[in-house]
Structure formats: C-alpha cells, structure tokens
C-alpha cells in the first residue's frame, strides 16, 4: 500500500494512508543504502501481523529540504515574530533562499503583531511585500488565521522559522485543538525553548497537509556561486539584463541596476543589506 510519512522519531516512522496512522520501520535495504526517509515522503509499505508498518520503498520526491528535514512541499510559510524573539533577518532570508533554490513557493507570516506598534509592523511587512505574499497572524486572538487557512488549502505546507515565534500556536488555531505542544520564550535569552522537537504532518482532511517543524536559531546557506545567490532574490529579477556588466552580482560594480533600484526605494534597503551579508558568507564558503 501507499502512504505518507507523517512523523519520524529515532528510526521509527509513522505512516498515514489518510485515515489510519501506523508506526513502523524501514526495510533493511532502505537503511543500508543510507537513504534517509523524510517526513512528507510517499512510501510503499505493508502491515505485519503485529500491526507494524514495514516500509519497502520511497516514491520520487518533488523536492526536499535539509532544514527543516521535509519533502514534497508545495509551499513553505516562513514564520517569524514581529518581536519576542526579535526578527533575525539573516536567518529568515536564508530560509527563503533555500526554498527559492528548490523551487518551493514561499509565503511570509508575521506573528505577535500585538507586541509592536502598527508603524513597526508596517515596516517589517514592507521588507517582504515586493517579493512575497505577506500575512500577519495573531496566535492569541486568532486574527489572520482564516486568510492563512485559505491560502494553504489543498496543499502540502510547512510552517518553518525560529523557535518561539508561534508556529505550533498557529497549527493549534487551525486544527482547532491542542494538537501540538507550545512553549514560552525565555525571559533570560529572549529566545524560544525549542518546544517542537520533530517534524509532524497534520492532515486537515481536505487534502491539506500541514507540517509543524522545530524552530532553528541559525541556518547555513547551501554552497553556491555568488551569481547563483543573486538569482535567488526575487526582487532582483526585474533588473535582470539591466546592469552594465552581464556578470554583475550587484555589489560594488558601477552601473548596477539593482543598486539603483535600492536607491530609488523600489527594492527594500534591508533586503539588499542582508543580501550583502549573505554574499560574504557565500564567498567564505568558496575559500
């Protein structure tokens, strides 16, 4: 039979056929090939006499990510808080770049709008408005949940972002129960407590598969060339072919259309500054 891996813990996998979830293991040859199974994988499996699933094979993946370790996404919602924890735009933009590199659709979801002024919220929104679909959700009141729910309908969607931003809180709002454990943000460090430890898919019954994922504090960019990085920033695409030099990576080159767009306020300055930071990282990798 065919099913989807909805959770994996210490070598055990939970496989769902849409109505029943069975726990089991991968057959020896799958393990020997060191082929990792991802949450999200479509697998061939059988159920033994003692009711355990044995996974025999994996269907070809549409896509997969290493962090969070998931496969077959249609959309990844990058979730971060307006405050508490403070947004780390380097990390957030890296998550976007990792998805762009895999061709996975991205949406931005800003949580905890109640902790900042509306001006501050607008400023954060404006950072991503020209690149992505931006939503605001208040996990405490549920405001914004309906529109998020609409956007994810029928798709395989992961909630990903730093620890403590409210991913599991969103999930509980949508599932309508305390399905996922949530935790507070530490007063001392201002960071989340890594409450969610494993990726888990919640099947919403209408064909929507919602992946809750563990929060991260840092991310590494996949190894790539500087030109590749510049191609993964959606705001830069409108400038393609307009820089003086064909191999312009929009740093110090004269006649750069991207820098001009930044100066004119068409491309948000913050996004460009983060791009420059990440470019340093990409160059370090190549040394």
User: Applying CB under 6 A, which residues contact ligand GTP?
Assistant: 111-112, 114-115, 138-140, 163-169, 182-185, 192-196, 214-215
Total binding residues toward Zn ion, as defined by CB under 5 A: 5
Structure-block tokens of residue 40: 């999200």
Query: Residue 196, interface with Mg ion (CB under 5 A)?
Result: yes
Q: Which residues, listed in sequence order, are joined to residue 108 by a DSSP beta bridge?
A: 78, 134
Phi-psi bin for 132: left (phi > 0), alpha (psi -120 to 50), beta?
beta
Residue 163 interface partner, choices Zn ion, Mg ion, ligand GTP, none, CB cut-off 5-8 Å depending on type = ligand GTP
Query: 3-state DSSP helix/strand/coil percent for the chain, to nearest 5?
Result: 30, 25, 45
H-helix or E-strand spanning residue 102: helix 89-102
Distance of CA 258 to the CA centre of its chain: 26
Q: Which is nearer to ligand GTP, 88 or 230 (CB)?
A: 88
Q: Which two tokens stand for residue 242?
A: 């307009």
Nearest distance from C-beta of residue 195 to Mg ion, angstroms: 5
**Could you tell me the smallest distance in angstroms from the CB atom of residue 113 to ligand GTP?**
7
Whole-number minimum distance, CB 51 to ligand GTP, in Å?
A: 30
Q: Rounded distance, CA 163 to CA 184, Å?
A: 10
* Of residues 220-279, those binding Zn ion (CB under 5 A): 243, 248, 250, 256, 258
| Size of interface with Mg ion, in residues (CB under 5 A) | 4
**Interface ranges with Mg ion (CB under 5 A):** 167-168, 195-196
Contacting residues toward Zn ion, per CB under 5 A: 243, 248, 250, 256, 258
């Amino acid at each position: 039979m065919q099913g989807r891996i909805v959770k994996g813990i210490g070598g055990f996998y939970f496989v769902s056929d849409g109505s029943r979830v069975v726990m089991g293991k991968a057959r020896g040859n799958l393990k020997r090939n060191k082929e990792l199974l991802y949450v999200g994988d479509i697998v061939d499996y059988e159920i033994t006499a003692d009711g355990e699933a044995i996974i025999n094979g994996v269907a070809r993946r549409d896509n997969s990510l290493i962090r969070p370790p998931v496969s077959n996404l249609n959309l990844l919602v990058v979730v971060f808080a307006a405050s508490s924890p403070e947004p780390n735009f380097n990390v957030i933009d890296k998550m976007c770049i990792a998805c762009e590199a895999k061709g996975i659709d991205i949406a931005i979801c800003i949580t905890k709008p109640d902790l900042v002024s509306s001006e501050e919220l607008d400023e954060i929104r404006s950072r991503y408005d020209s690149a992505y679909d931006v939503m605001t959700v208040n996990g405490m009141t549920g405001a914004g949940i309906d529109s998020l729910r609409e956007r994810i309908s029928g798709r395989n969607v992961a909630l990903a972002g730093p620890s403590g931003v409210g991913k599991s809180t969103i999930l509980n709002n949508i599932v309508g129960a305390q399905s996922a454990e949530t935790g507070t943000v530490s007063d001392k460090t201002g960071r989340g407590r890594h409450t969610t430890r494993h990726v888990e898919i919640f099947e919403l019954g209408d064909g929507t598969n919602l992946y809750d994922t563990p929060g991260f504090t840092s991310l590494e960019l996949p190894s790539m060339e500087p030109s590749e990085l510049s191609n993964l920033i959606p705001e830069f695409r409108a400038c393609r072919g307009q820089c003086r030099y064909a191999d312009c990576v929009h740093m110090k080159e004269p006649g750069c259309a991207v820098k001009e767009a930044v100066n004119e306020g068409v491309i948000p300055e913050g996004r460009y500054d983060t791009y420059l930071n990440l470019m340093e990282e990409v160059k370090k990798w190549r040394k």
